[in-house]
A and B are shown apart, each in its own frame.
Chain A
């Protein structure tokens, strides 16, 4: 009777989580298909693709995306499996971890599991239903990706490879849903469960990175390392999928065993006790706001630094690569007075600036999350003014953006100087990058404005960021009219070193920033402060 009423509970889970299901399935499939067709459009000849292969054959890239199988004959398929498979696997892993944790440990924390278990339901039924849900999700994505890849009909992406690609993705998702199921038994809270699973994922990635650049043995202990060794679209090996399924079944059995031998609400790893007293810095509104986002802040800073390093690592072979690719030249807006590398830097700086705005916005939007959870009230009723609270979050946001940008540029400089014969001076890069601050500030200003006046739709600021990204990244290809391009704050920044520094434009943008931030603050002072 361990599994009594599984189907009933499964349909309940489906009913409750179908939006979640469709969103994940749709996004993963869409991203894969779009990237695959983009490869087909971007690199039309073998020559162009081989040039890309050149930029991939360095330790930094291998550590990031894995060893390049089929670099000597770099077809669109080989490119897809080399550059995208690992990242999509990570997305599948994160998805499975989030979905499983939400349906198991979070429900347990909220007391829902207790109610379910008081009904005529088997002891293992809730976990089984959640895992079934995740299995269906992973298999659906695998099948849809395979079908999609076959349907877009690009040379170098054949049916067998497409099927294996889909299966590999499914396997990755399944393995990590098993990991999440185990973590959900081990941990005492959903928060800890997610932490364990994500730590496992990061360890798997790092182990693979180390193994791929040094001794392959390490990669073979990592599920991610094994899965990418199917050499999809190159030699299509099936052993990773088989190992993946076996691994999933072992994890599953272990998770079931653990679940069967514990009490509802209990975990195998007791959460550690913490400090009895608060540190001095914690007793300020700034201290709290930083402390509750500490992990997010550190992760983003690390990620931005690594992003900078990875961009910098391709600088060595850039010129040869650009010569061969007309689409890239068009994206850069070919200006004969400057080297393509210089023009590439302008492009890169916009992209890094937009990426650095993401953590900045996240750090600010935390204020809305805190408000919704009723935790901002704790500060508001203890003599902290609204202006102070919003200033604190704004400061963290601006500071976080500046530091992110600095780290990205610094990382870019480190790795580019290592691979270039003539290194670009750090100060030039920093100037080009930091010129974007007024543009980044405007995004934070818009977020603050929305928070002050239209708190319910604060997160719409993301659309403005995505819009800006599209405009600067592929605006050149799309031939967008100027007025549309000008809506993006990033379009108003002089693109150093190709364009000249322009005090006037930056000053105007800064003035707009200050005005919009002030208006936003007034709004927050005037509105109801309850979530």
Chain B
């Protein structure tokens, strides 16, 4: 069952096309990574899902309900953490957490105190004196301590230290194990790689790739290092071979995943002395999509 369903959603601001025909499905119980460079349309997509922005065309639904018309009903079961958490300077962290939880109904005090403890937040301080990371903690505590079926997290860890980053990752794992759905937009690719079942890459308002990280790897290139007994003189010209770097004894290059069998056959005729292969990291994937 799909929790989030976006169908050909476009959003224009005046003549600027922020989103162009976005299709996105999130299934129940999965953690979906949403990656893309700044200004690609991640936050716009998320704000449409939250019913804050109205799509120019297309249809978006959460829990099968229209995100624009039934925003209030949907939000009862959604927890949201914005990337830039702006709070009221003269209220304390504790007060804001209570306000956020109180707006959604009854506060589960045990859960609230547990998350305050895990994220190690001093809740007596005024929000005006918190750092970015601490403001993010407030939003995270309010999100995880609430009772939600869908968590929409927009770059939630950009200000957290590595220790808190780890706590965050545990929280996401727990939410996932409880069968909840998570939409995680992030720049920290190692985090996405570790947490997400599926990934969507957005660029200039269009989703250019979706799939599990393994699936995406198939779409991209393999890194190979090879040493052969006889030299390969025209390696650059082979179909499916890219970025050849030659050192004294070895060649370092990338191979298109779908050409791998063919190329390996050809290579073996040169007498392989040594062969290393590395799967592409998400970063390789990411870079490949953005540098073009």
Contact = CB atoms under 8 A, between A and B. Distances in A.
A385 B95 contact: no
A515 interface: no
B52 A381 contact: yes
A530 interface: yes
Interface stretch (B28-36, B82-90, B222-230, B240-248): B82-90
Interface in A374-393: 374-375, 377-385
A326 B54 CA distance: 60
A381 B139 CA distance: 12
A421 interface: no
B98 interface: yes
Contacts of B98: 277-278, 282-283
Nearest to B49: A381
B95 A278 contact: yes
B102 A278 contact: yes
B278 interface: no
Contact of B129 (A271, A384, A529): A271
Interface stretch (A76-84, A177-185, A198-206, A284-292): A284-292
A374 B92 contact: no
A283 B99 contact: yes
A380 B95 contact: no
Interface in B97-148: 97-100, 102-105, 123-126, 128-129
A383 B53 contact: no
Nearest to B105: A383
A383 B103 contact: yes
A278 B99 contact: yes
Interface string A376-414: 011111111100000000000000000000000000000
A383 B124 contact: no
A530 B86 contact: no
Given A380-B51, A382-B75, A530-B53, A191 B102 contact: no
Contacts of B91: 274, 278, 282, 291-292
Contacts of B51: 380
Interface residues of A, number: 34
Given A283-B99, A382-B75, A530-B52, A273 B125 contact: yes
A482 interface: no
Given A283-B99, A292-B88, A381 B76 contact: no
Contacts of B72: 383-385
B103 A273 contact: no
B69 to A, nearest CB: 10
A528 interface: yes
B171 interface: no
Interface residues of B, number: 38
A530 B125 CA distance: 28
Contact of A282 (B47, B53, B95, B129): B95
A275 interface: yes
B99 A276 contact: no
Contacts of A384: 72, 103
B125 A382 contact: no
Contacts of A283: 98-99, 102-103
A526 B50 CA distance: 14
A114 B152 CA distance: 33
Contacts of B253: none
Interface string B229-259: 0000000000000000000000000000000
Interface string A155-167: 0000000000000
A189 B71 contact: no
Contacts of A374: 82, 84, 86
B86 A375 contact: yes
Interface in A511-531: 526-530
A149 to B, nearest CB: 41
A526 B102 CA distance: 27
Nearest to B122: A273
A527 B52 CA distance: 9
Given A276-B123, A282-B99, A528-B54, A383 B86 contact: no
| Most chain B C-beta atoms within 10 Å of own C-beta, residue among A276, A374, A381 | A381
A526 B71 CA distance: 13
A292 B126 CA distance: 13
A212 interface: no
Given A274-B125, A374-B82, A383 B94 contact: no
B3 interface: no
Interface string A260-287: 0000000000010111111000111100
Given A188-B129, A273-B124, A278-B102, A381 B80 contact: yes
Interface in A282-336: 282-285, 288, 291-292
Contacts of A528: 52-54
A102 to B, nearest CB: 15
B219 to A, nearest CB: 34
B88 A285 contact: no
Nearest to A528: B53
A191 to B, nearest CB: 5
6 contacts: A189-B129, A271-B125, A271-B128, A274-B91, A282-B99, A530-B47
Given A373-B86, A527-B54, 10 more contacts: A271-B126, A271-B129, A273-B125, A274-B92, A283-B98, A283-B102, A380-B50, A381-B80, A382-B100, A526-B54
Those 5 A-B pairs whose CB atoms lie nearest each other, nearest first: A283-B102, A278-B98, A274-B92, A273-B124, A382-B103
